[in-house]
Structure 1
Amino acid sequence: MLLLEHWLAEKGCLLLWLLPSVLQAQLNQEVRPKSTLCQQSPMKVSCKGLGLHKFPRELGQGVKYLEISNNFIRNLSSSNMPEFGQLEYLDMGFNQLEAVSDVTLSQLPQLRSLLLGSNHLDRNYQANGRAFHLLRNIEVLDLSANNLESHMAGWYVSNLTSLRLLDLSRNKMTRLPAEIFWSMPQLHELNLSNNYIMEIEEGAFEGLGELEVVNLALNSLYCISGFSLTQLRVLNLSHNALELFFSEEAAEPYLLRVLDLSHNRLLYFPELPKAHYLTHLNLSNNLIASLLPGSHHPGEFVLPYEEMGRFNRTLHAGAGLTHVADLDLSNNQLQVFPVPFFHSLGSLHKLSLARNCLQEVAGESLAGGTEPSAALPLRWLDLGGNAFHLLPRWFFDALPQLEAIDLGSNSLQPCESQGSKPGGNPGGESHVPAPGGTCTPFYNLPRLKHLSLCKNKVTRLQPYAFHQTSLLSLDLSGNKDLFMPKEALGGLEFSLQKLSLRGNQMDNSKAELPCLDTLQVLDLSGNNFSHLPSGLFCSRLESLDVRDNNLLTLEKPALASWPHSLKEMSIAGNPFSCCSLAWLDALRAGGVSVRDLDQALCTYQDESRNFSAKITSTPRWLCPRPKGSSPLALFMVVMSLFILSAGVCCLQKTGQKLSGRVGLGSSRVGVLPHCPKREEPAEGKTADSVTKV
């Protein structure tokens, strides 16, 4: 006992001696910033989103790249920031920064990029701006989303002579004073989007000879006149309130390549006489009603601008746009497709006129509607969402390079071609038009590869409607009660790869398909098919959608045809029989991915009612057994086996008793596992006394 007390006393003194050191280490661990959480490399440190309120102090020397965004730092001062004399890149976006020390910035002579977006730099902006004037070598500056007004932003960026990229988006600027950018001769890219800019004073961009990209989207500009930035490459003026865009004649051609004027209130096609290098022009979501020379806007109201006197609407607005390859005029108020307007656009490959009010096509003269003299180089054309009832044959002749056309949501009826019928001219163009000449010919268009006729109210697809048009994809969806005879897709047997008949409410009597040897993707969803068209069984399908039909099962020929090609399938919304799911087992065995298997149901049926269950957990024991194996017969078989087994046990027991009586054999006999055990003799009695009468 004494030895134990002595040992405890000795160890206790040792613990008391170590306690201050342990507490001090613990205290230092709590006070020291958790710099170990930062991801560090010799020259790059990232402390993004660590909940920091101050700069981590213990960082490696020679750091050039520091990311400390998404934290809670309020001050950028030398008192809480270690020395980073070699720092070139600093990202402090999404903090609570409101004060910047001039002493700190003076110690960052190598800083080239400073990202301070989403902070509170509208506070203390005068003192902060003086500190910014020390950033002599700064090239990239992000001041977005700092609640800066026009005068605040101008004070911050003044005297930054090396700046090449400036982001002032998502602030509260309402105007651009003439002198705001005067000290930035090397500025290359300027982002002013998502402000409230209503006025740009003359000379605001003067002297910016290196400026190539300007983003003024999401502002409140209503007029651009005297546009003279000839060196500009990209200009985004979308989502403003522009009613007029007018460029001045210049001695040098404009270098503009991308111009976005979408989501404005333009009434006319903009005048761009010197924009010879323009390749992408977006005029969607405006109020342009006509592209014909000398046309007037409905109502013929006069815009209240002095510049309207210099705006000559009789000029051919597209005369100088010789390099435009992509033109978007969707969501306007156009009523006529003016083919002559696009003749001067010799490089136009992609054109969208979707969701206008187009009803007809105008040739060389609107009255005569004659065939145009020159072909258009279009390859992709979107005319969806208009009011076309007819497209004349010469319209397609004027588009010899056309590869894809979207005619969805119109009222076009395909014509019948007789080129491949018995007795017809195999190479001819004879056709039988619908009554009144209201059908549109889609045959003999050898370049056309992709065609959409969805939601055109097509009720009957004529035979050989696409003869000698080697389509790769065809969309006929959304045409309710469409009748499609087997000959309708005649001529597409060895070209068609993708076919959509979605949402047509077709049954088996309205859809016959030929043997489409190259078909890979098929959408039959939203119909009333009770079995798949037999023409599909020779196709090498890779993707099949049969959702929302009346299928009870999949036929054996399909399972025999597709196991090596089919990769994915959608099946939900069909009344599959829970007792006929061998097809599903075959699909699984073939590695086919059923994308909506968890949503698919199957149905049971008995004498009184029908009920459904998930197809993935069907209790197949409820299904009827083959003939001769009814539940009652199975029950009788089981009971017979049980009675026979019990009889064997009893006979064996009786045999044991008889053997004991006559004294034959051993008194130890084997007992079957399910037979009753033989009773052991009572204490003091022998086996002979038990079996003796």
Structure 2
Amino acid sequence: MVRESFGSDVFGDPAEFRLVGDKAPLTLAWAGERGVTQEGSCGPSHSELEEGGEHPNPRSWIGTGQKGEILGGIHPILWGTVSHWPGPPPALSRDAPPSPPLDVGPLPPKNNPGCPANCTCPSEETVECGGLDLHVFPSNISRAVQHLSLQNNQLRELPYDELAQLTSLKTLNLHNNHIISAGLPDEAFESLDSLQYIYLANNKLTVAPQILPSTVRIVDLAANLLTEVYPLTFGQKANLRSVYLHNNQLTNTGLPYDAFSGSNAVSTMILSSNQLSYLPQNLPPALVRLHLQNNRIARIPRGALSSHWKLRELYLQNNNLSNQGMDPSTFSKLKSLEYLDLSNNNLTKIPAGFPPNIMILHLGKNRIDSLPRDSLSRVRGLQYLLLQNNRLTAAGVHPDAFLKLRNLHTLHLYNNRLERVPPGLPRRVRSLMILHNQITHIGLQDFANTYLLAELNLSYNRLYSAKIHRLAFRKLRRLETLDLSGNQLTLLPTGLPPSLQVLKLHKNQINSLSPELLANLTGLKELHLAHNRLRIGSITPGTWQELQGLKLLDLSNNELSYIPPDLPESLEYLYLQHNRIAVIGAEAFHTIPDIRAIVLR
């Protein structure tokens, strides 16, 4: 057997070596204290949002980098098995404009008379001058240009005389410059009768352009310093479809009542991360997506949403909304609404008057302490209900609160004050998150009717082995993932269903394993037993014999003194770090020929 050192250029120290014998190479790694940095790919500073049929998708026309994501303390060999915190489903859309309508490949500049120095001009109609550190608007631009890109430069002003000559211009991208309002004349765009797409995000504007041509379809003024919008900036624009004003300093005073009058075709409005104190009135009636999160909204005026029957997505999270700031008719006219986010507000109860077609309802991070019988009876199409981080108790959940929710498949109740499993769980729920509560026991009937449940998370409660009924999980014949980590269990629960694929029991006080507790789990693929009190003498011979499909076994942070014998032949990942193993016998791994990685320290 040969030791092949990979050297310090892999994990910093010569901490990984490969044992090469007659069988496939086996990688042994010491789990260190290093983090893994995953760099984001280049893309726009605002994530791209595709707007169906609006324009073709470009090749990264806005090229600013995104922040990397650091996963601290996770060794690369363990990265793929990190458990994710249960989160909400992805939003239907994001706070971002679509990219400009340009598909320009890495073509060399053409030597035509309408191409400025250092710019790329694939055709007479397209001029690409992005990222050239320009301080002055380029001259010698062809009057036939239709798509002009000047993003990622140092421009502070736009010369009216030169811009006014570009009468064929359809797309103007000035994203990520230093343009100030004083450098943008009121009449700057007045003569551009063909202009459809204007991108002025990430500049220094304090007021919006006073006049935009009636031809515009998309206007992006996000991430400026805007405090004021004029009536003719967006008003009287029959062709306008999308407006992006997020990350500014707009108040209700700076957004006049008639700001969007006559612009009845606007379908996307992004006003998030401003300083609005109430939901603006007289918004375009054709809105499909309305983003108002991260403001200071404390109330929704009566009738403010009464004409928006096309609205599908409404984002109101991270505001100051209370139940007193709305009335039962606030949402009742939104017949097309599918996605509503009211998380991180000041709600103390479920708001009344929800329309029936909502599919995703976020109510997390409020102060809701009860679910009365009829509080959710209208939203019969609900599929995701997110109530985490509230003040719910089991006594406050009416047994019929979920009775009408026959389509509900995801229910998040984590970080509440539940002392037991709430009664009347929805019959068709498939993912149930009730971790980080105060649950002390699981009774015979707690999950008797949730026969479709595939994912159940009960981690970080106050469960003891003696308080889990031996038949508590008997009806969960489709259960695939069960998380009981972070409790006070001393034994594996009995009666676990054979459908189980992932069983998480780390951070308990389990001190013994026996074959009969695992005999039924023939489909198990992952078994997590880290941070328990297991010793070699407490693992009964034959414990693993029925786990013929097990791929991952985590026994780290226990009290093992040597490698457990008779490990399943199917095993691919074995975690044994932070035990008391001092000697590895020659036959230790002979029963696991398919092993890919063993972590020992």
Tell me the TM-score normalized by structure 2.
0.73
Q: Does 1:206 align with 2:261?
A: yes
Q: Does 1:74 align with 2:129?
A: no
1:465 is aligned to: 472
Contact 2:212 2:232 in 1 (8 A): no
Cα–Cα, structure 1 residues 64 and 586, in superposed 2: closer, same or farther, change >3 Å? farther
Q: CA deviation at 1:412?
A: 1.9
2:348 is aligned to: 289
2-structure distance, mates of 1:344, 1:96: 54
Q: Which has the higher helix share?
A: 1
1:387 to 408, 417, 424: 417
Cα–Cα, structure 1 residues 570 and 556, in superposed 2: closer, same or farther, change >3 Å? closer
Q: Does 1:541 align with 2:550?
A: yes
1:612 is aligned to: none
2-structure distance, mates of 1:251, 1:577: 72
CA deviations over 1:32-66 (Å, ceiling 9, x no partner) = xxxxxxxxx99755799xxxxx9535856625444
1-structure distance, mates of 2:406, 2:396: 14
1:401 to 428, 446, 468: 428
Cα–Cα, structure 1 residues 370 and 211, in superposed 2: closer, same or farther, change >3 Å? closer
Q: How does 1:150-169 map to 2 (within 5 A)?
A: 150=207, 153-155=208-210, 158-169=211-222
1:684 is aligned to: none
Contact 1:340 1:363 in 2 (8 A): no
CA deviations over 1:145-166 (Å, ceiling 9, x no partner) = 211112xx223xx142211111
Contact 2:216 2:237 in 1 (8 A): yes
Q: CA deviation at 1:389?
A: 1.3
1:553 to 552, 557, 562: 562
1:354 is aligned to: 388
2:47 is aligned to: none
CA deviations over 1:361-413 (Å, ceiling 9, x no partner) = 5577xxxx7788745432110000001113454x13xx121111101011224
For structure 2, the 5+ residue unaligned runs are 1-101, 110-114
Cα–Cα, structure 1 residues 123 and 291, in superposed 2: closer, same or farther, change >3 Å? closer
Q: CA deviation at 1:509?
A: 6.6
1:476 to 480, 484, 500: 484
CA deviations over 1:84-126 (Å, ceiling 9, x no partner) = 4554333222210124344543554443221112212116524
2:508 is aligned to: 504
2:26 is aligned to: none
* Alignment-mate amino acid for residue 224 of structure 2: N
Q: CA deviation at 1:544?
A: 2.5
Which range moved further: 225-234 or 462-471?
225-234
Q: Does 1:262 align with 2:321?
A: no
Q: How does 1:665-684 map to 2 (within 5 A)?
A: none
2:98 is aligned to: none
Cα–Cα, structure 1 residues 187 and 452, in superposed 2: closer, same or farther, change >3 Å? same
1:220 is aligned to: 275
Cα–Cα, structure 1 residues 227 and 524, in superposed 2: closer, same or farther, change >3 Å? farther
* Alignment-mate amino acid for residue 489 of structure 1: T
SS in 2 for 1:513: helix
CA deviations over 1:196-215 (Å, ceiling 9, x no partner) = 11122211111111101111
SS in 1 for 2:314: strand
Which range moved further: 275-284 or 171-180?
171-180
Contact 2:544 2:566 in 1 (8 A): no
Aligned length: 481
For structure 1, the 5+ residue unaligned runs are 1-40, 49-53, 293-315, 418-428, 430-440, 602-693
Contact 2:339 2:358 in 1 (8 A): yes
1:237 to 260, 272, 292: 292
Q: CA deviation at 1:483?
A: 2.5
Contact 2:108 2:122 in 1 (8 A): no
1:91 is aligned to: 149
Cα–Cα, structure 1 residues 405 and 350, in superposed 2: closer, same or farther, change >3 Å? same
Contact 2:491 2:511 in 1 (8 A): no
2:176 is aligned to: 118
Cα–Cα, structure 1 residues 201 and 275, in superposed 2: closer, same or farther, change >3 Å? same
Q: CA deviation at 1:283?
A: 0.4
1:452 to 432, 454, 457: 457
* Alignment-mate amino acid for residue 487 of structure 2: N
Cα–Cα, structure 1 residues 239 and 510, in superposed 2: closer, same or farther, change >3 Å? farther
Cα–Cα, structure 1 residues 361 and 189, in superposed 2: closer, same or farther, change >3 Å? farther
1:524 is aligned to: 529
1-structure distance, mates of 2:453, 2:122: 64
Cα–Cα, structure 1 residues 581 and 123, in superposed 2: closer, same or farther, change >3 Å? farther
1:143 to 200, 213, 223: 200
Contact 1:246 1:272 in 2 (8 A): no
1-structure distance, mates of 2:415, 2:376: 21
Contact 2:515 2:544 in 1 (8 A): no
* Alignment-mate amino acid for residue 346 of structure 2: L
Contact 1:445 1:468 in 2 (8 A): yes
> RMSD between aligned alpha carbons?
3.1
Cα–Cα, structure 1 residues 363 and 553, in superposed 2: closer, same or farther, change >3 Å? closer
Q: CA deviation at 1:131?
A: 4.0
| Higher RCO (C-alpha under 8 Å, 6+ residues apart) | 2
Cα–Cα, structure 1 residues 172 and 90, in superposed 2: closer, same or farther, change >3 Å? same
2-structure distance, mates of 1:59, 1:227: 43
1:628 is aligned to: none
Contact 1:45 1:66 in 2 (8 A): no
1-structure distance, mates of 2:103, 2:473: 66
1-structure distance, mates of 2:576, 2:124: 57
2:77 is aligned to: none
1:34 is aligned to: none
Q: CA deviation at 1:253?
A: 5.4
Contact 1:133 1:160 in 2 (8 A): yes
Contact 1:115 1:141 in 2 (8 A): yes
Q: CA deviation at 1:71?
A: 2.9
Q: CA deviation at 1:181?
A: 1.7
Q: CA deviation at 1:448?
A: 1.5
* Alignment-mate amino acid for residue 111 of structure 1: L
SS in 2 for 1:446: coil
SS in 2 for 1:276: coil
2-structure distance, mates of 1:373, 1:44: 56
Cα–Cα, structure 1 residues 107 and 191, in superposed 2: closer, same or farther, change >3 Å? same
1:567 to 561, 564, 572: 572
Q: Percent identity?
A: 22
Cα–Cα, structure 1 residues 342 and 530, in superposed 2: closer, same or farther, change >3 Å? same
Contact 2:236 2:261 in 1 (8 A): no
2-structure distance, mates of 1:549, 1:209: 65
SS in 2 for 1:327: strand
CA deviations over 1:165-192 (Å, ceiling 9, x no partner) = 1111111112334343225321111111
Cα–Cα, structure 1 residues 89 and 281, in superposed 2: closer, same or farther, change >3 Å? same
Cα–Cα, structure 1 residues 107 and 575, in superposed 2: closer, same or farther, change >3 Å? farther
2-structure distance, mates of 1:477, 1:261: 34
1-structure distance, mates of 2:258, 2:401: 49
SS in 2 for 1:259: strand
SS in 1 for 2:503: strand
1:432 is aligned to: none
Report the structure number with the largest CA radius of gyration.
1
* Alignment-mate amino acid for residue 465 of structure 1: A
